[in-house]
Structure 1
């Protein structure tokens, strides 16, 4: 783990850490900060949930995220929406090109049936954690519980269908693949590095992921996330209204850039 306290206001990486295999992590990521996740060895899966830290009932909404952008996958140019029609974050860089937000989490039963049962008391850091329980461990720190858990994103996991229409994991991410999220509003971010629920590898997968936080660049009028579709422009306008009076300028087509993100 490393924290750079120098050069505030630059776009350099300000914080970096490694999310170990079968681990979980959470942080309130502020508006104007970007989070880059890098698959260090290939084949990783990163589960993600988001909440408004000032209104915890507002959380990531997978159906709205997909339907308003007319897509089944997430990649560069897509925005991740809350259930209040606001944009938590935008995907501004993506070398993999396909991230799942329909298949949900692995749970204790899935892990036990595929890879056997291990617990922390007996196996310490070699135990086989599942995504659902990893999320719950983090959520309880903020007074949240299983009833507050929506459908999650699975970064670095491409989902395809076979000839019978069954879902399965497709091409896996390579070592060095990365995705960058630019946060458009404050968000409680909860992550885990547990297996995707469709993962059927012979041994329990253990892939580390690097996390980096940096200050975001200014949003320009030609921003691909802003201009991806009319719904995204309305989402940014909803954010501007939400932040009205906090020093965030609104979206005006005649201006060369959109301030504050």
Structure 2
């Protein structure tokens, strides 16, 4: 289903996430989560929480401060609000990934694209649905990673959301540094080019 290299270890989970859908899983310490952009130009919004104490969760601020860079590349360590490593980006066939673009919501769609978009499904809804499986609510939402999303910082400091730099079969590999619950929104956005105006499925593989 993809042109990415074989994963080491036994495959313990291999699922295709439909376009616009949420996805959750437990990823154990030492396991690798591979996310494959099956058709290309699909943004994958991503959160993670410590399995044993979900008050500890991914922190964009700690991650950015520790690495001194807003983009995630091979070797980047994703850190928690306790400053501890949660996952390491061990390999990717995409040049960089976004940490600051955030998740689309019905409210932000309305503000940016007009009131007629309010009824459109959004990443925040997917995150709320996924988190509800673990007893988490809106207050547990934090800034997320956007895998495959192209959010350049312009010369004047503004952010752009432009055509993606991914392609069919490109991937990102994350090695869990602690036991994690992972919550994903396969982004449903159709009003900007982050998904090529056409949301598509992605593949999630966990290898031990």
> Residue in 2 aligned with 1:33?
31
Q: Partners of 1:62 and 1:197 in 2: how far apart?
A: 25
Is 2:206 the counterpart of 1:189?
Answer: no
> Residue in 1 aligned with 2:3?
none
* TM-score, scaled relative to structure 2: 0.86
- Among candidates 74, 77, 86, match of residue 75 of structure 2: 77
* 1:15-64 deviation line (CA, Å, top 9, x unaligned): 21111111001112111211100101111011111111211111101011
Higher Cα Rg: structure 1 or 2? 1
Is 2:152 the counterpart of 1:154?
Answer: no
Larger RCO (alpha carbons 8 Å, 6+ apart): 2
Q: Partners of 1:34 and 1:48 in 2: how far apart?
A: 15
Is 2:161 the counterpart of 1:137?
Answer: no
User: Shift of the alpha carbon at 1:199?
Assistant: 2.7
Structure 2 residues not aligned, in runs of 5+: 1-7
Secondary structure of 2:160's partner?
A: strand
Secondary structure of 1:142's partner?
A: coil
Structure 1 residues not aligned, in runs of 5+: 1-9, 120-127, 216-261
Secondary structure of 2:95's partner?
A: coil
* 1:147-177 deviation line (CA, Å, top 9, x unaligned): 1111000000121133543211245111111
Moved over 6 A (4+): none
Secondary structure of 1:134's partner?
A: helix
Give yes or no for contact 1:52–1:59 (8 Å, CA) kept in 2.
yes
Matches of residues 22-101 of structure 1 in structure 2 within 5 Å?
Answer: 22-101=20-99
Is 2:173 the counterpart of 1:176?
Answer: no
